[in-house]
Amino acid sequence: MIVKHAAALAVLAGACQFANAADCMEQAVTTVQMQSCAQETFDAANAEYAQQYRKLTKVLNARERQQLNASQKSFLEYQRRACELETGRTSGGSIAGVAVQLCQARLTQWRTAELKRLTDCQEGDVSCRRP
């Protein structure tokens, strides 16, 4: 029994040792390792997104924050539907969760870049939200 637990921990730990998501997925052999890589990728994308979202909300007025919240709801719906389309052929398979998380991570990274563009912009850019 202890050997089974030790083996499971070794597999999970092995998936976490890679420098970045691409390396992690390239090195992953088992579905469990791929799931771990996808989760790490998704978590990192969400953390970066949350940081950028907080940064942007600090420079928005109340009306702009409402607009941001509405656009975020629309983005989440788009993300869900786009990833359903992109990963539909994996549905029900052992790799389905990995495909969905990687899709969500990629779209979250795109959304983060869009939010960053609103705060880290050049003077004269009319879409800029810097104070």
Is residue 33 within 8 A of residue 11, CB to CB? The reply is yes
The whole-number average pLDDT for the span 97-102 is 94
Q: Given this model, what pLDDT does residue 25 score?
A: 73
* Helix, strand and coil in the chain, % to nearest 5: 75, 0, 25
The whole-number average pLDDT for the span 46-68 is 95
pLDDT grade for 88, boundaries at 50, 70 and 90: very high
- Please tell me the distance from the alpha carbon of residue 107 to that of residue 111, in angstroms, as a whole number: 6
- Please tell me the distance from the alpha carbon of residue 36 to that of residue 28, in angstroms, as a whole number: 9
Report the candidate in 131, 115, 103, 117 with the shortest Cα–Cα distance to residue 50. 115
| Helices assigned H by DSSP within the chain | 2-15, 21-27, 31-57, 62-87, 96-119
Q: Given this model, what pLDDT does residue 105 score?
A: 96
Given a cut of 80, is residue 93 above it in pLDDT?
yes
Query: What residues have CB less than 8 Å from 82, skipping those under 6 apart?
Result: 103, 107
What is the pTM for the complete model shown? 0.76
Q: Given this model, what pLDDT does residue 64 score?
A: 94
Report the candidate in 103, 96, 85, 130 with the shortest Cα–Cα distance to residue 42. 103
Given a cut of 90, is residue 20 above it in pLDDT?
no
Domains and CATH numbers, the chain: 19-116 (1.20.1270.180)
pLDDT grade for 120, boundaries at 50, 70 and 90: confident
